[in-house]
Amino acid sequence: MSRQSHDLAFLSLTEAAALIRAGELTSVAYTQGLLDHIAAHDGQFDSFLRVLTDSALSDAEGADSAVTAGETLGPLHGVPFGLKDIVDVAGLPTTAHSQILAQQPPRTEDATVTKHLRAAGGILLGKTATHEFAIGGPSFDLPWPPARNPWNRAHSPGGSSSGSGAAVAAGFVPMAIGTDTGGSVRNPATSCGIVGMKATYGRVSRRGVVPLSYSLDHVGPMTRTVADNALMLNVLAGHDPDDPASADVSTTDYTAQLDQGVKGLRIGVIRHFHNRDLIADPVMAEALEEALRVLQGLGAEVVEIETAPLAEFATCNRVILLSEAYAIHRRWLAERPGDYGELFLQRVLPGAFLGGGDYVDALRLRRKLTTGFNRTISGLDGVIAISSMDAAFAIEDPDENASKYPRQARTPFNLTGNPALAMPNGFDADGLPLAMQIIGKNFDEATIYRIANAYEGATKWHQRRPPL
């Protein structure tokens, strides 16, 4: 592949959109450059289940014609994106990376997020790999192989939005959609060294997205920079009357505060998640401490806070998730159990043994934990917490998968619904990304982006590239 194509692959979303808008880069040239990059490298990583070469180039031609005609352009005009393959696209199947849906007919309508991205001028480049039904993986007994980590293909890219994380990190697309029920946007962001936002519950529509857990599911943007992520949320956020959980709350311009810095902000840090509740790898823990020092150097006040123990959040999340996931899949589990992968069955079948009393107790505990967390952070502008306790694990080692996958601090914020962003804050000695989370008050994603952008600008971790 040419050097020019490689440079195109690592343009930020914001840069690419500006160049196309100014007529300095055609959407066709950009899209073809990304397709060439995918052809040269995705055979190693399997981030895409389906690449839409012909339709993407046709849409790119239309985007260029609009520029030539001087038409009003959307914020993503002519820029390709990827969709986790649990998100509907009219005319395409949605497989959820499972034999269960592999033979289903094409969908008849776009998901709401697909409509928003296209209405903003985005070009669908393809459907990305996922863990089976956003929970069962990384699995080697499914119709397609699992996605791998661009920093080292022997390692997991995180899940369940594995293909979206790998594709963005590898430069195959500047933006992709993931979903997050127990951390599945933030886990790939963590493992792949990119930015992933789980906005406030109800901020982004889930209509047209295959459900895993109705009361925990979120849809979120995945990008290589904070500014790109904020721009993408501008497009995605908004009330959708066709999603019963969608919040009828006003949105804002999430890019407006990016350059305001953190001077004078009061930021909490939850250390007990990683130094008492679970014990993090020292390299991951030190990366978080160094990030706090950076934020303090930029003028933020950092204060330690205590919440409920991580295990209490995790157990509550697990009971709700498994109860709802089993209810969604119980018919197929009865009729077609052999069509599921082994990991899906291991993770979801325990839901069959949970009763109505367990579910109700978990819902009551959820309310208590949510109220307590929001009371704790009421005087803060944001909160820092670790994301994973370890860097990405070896993808073909089932013991590492079983032991390290649950070692994380993301599920509390699916339970409470608070917005939470994962972003890189270093690399370990093996060149694998390290990461942290920034959590905010409900519907205050703008302040999270403000903190994240200040840190990103002071550190430049986002400028490192995988050794493709």
Report how far residue 112's alpha carbon sits from residue 82's, in angstroms, rounded to the nearest whole number: 15
Report how far residue 98's alpha carbon sits from residue 144's, in angstroms, rounded to the nearest whole number: 8
What is the CA 246 to chain-centroid distance, rounded?
19
434: three-class secondary structure by DSSP = strand
163: three-class secondary structure by DSSP = helix
CA atoms within 13 A on the CB side of 88: 19
Per the residue annotation, which of 47, 98, 139, 184 is the catalytic one? 184
Let me know if 98 is a catalytic residue: no
Question: What is the DSSP code (8-state) at residue 274?
Answer: I
- CB-based contact 136:86 (threshold 8 Å): no
Per the residue annotation, which of 5, 12, 47, 84 is the catalytic one? 84
Helix, strand, coil fractions of the chain, as percent rounded to 5:
45, 15, 40
- CB-based contact 340:139 (threshold 8 Å): no
Report how far residue 372's alpha carbon sits from residue 137's, in angstroms, rounded to the nearest whole number: 33
Per the residue annotation, which of 160, 191, 205, 213 is the catalytic one? 160
Report how far residue 425's alpha carbon sits from residue 423's, in angstroms, rounded to the nearest whole number: 7
What is the CA 413 to chain-centroid distance, rounded?
14
Report how far residue 133's alpha carbon sits from residue 422's, in angstroms, rounded to the nearest whole number: 22
Report how far residue 213's alpha carbon sits from residue 328's, in angstroms, rounded to the nearest whole number: 8
- CB-based contact 88:115 (threshold 8 Å): no
Let me know if 164 is a catalytic residue: no
266: three-class secondary structure by DSSP = strand
Let me know if 12 is a catalytic residue: no
- Give catalytic residue positions: 84, 160, 184
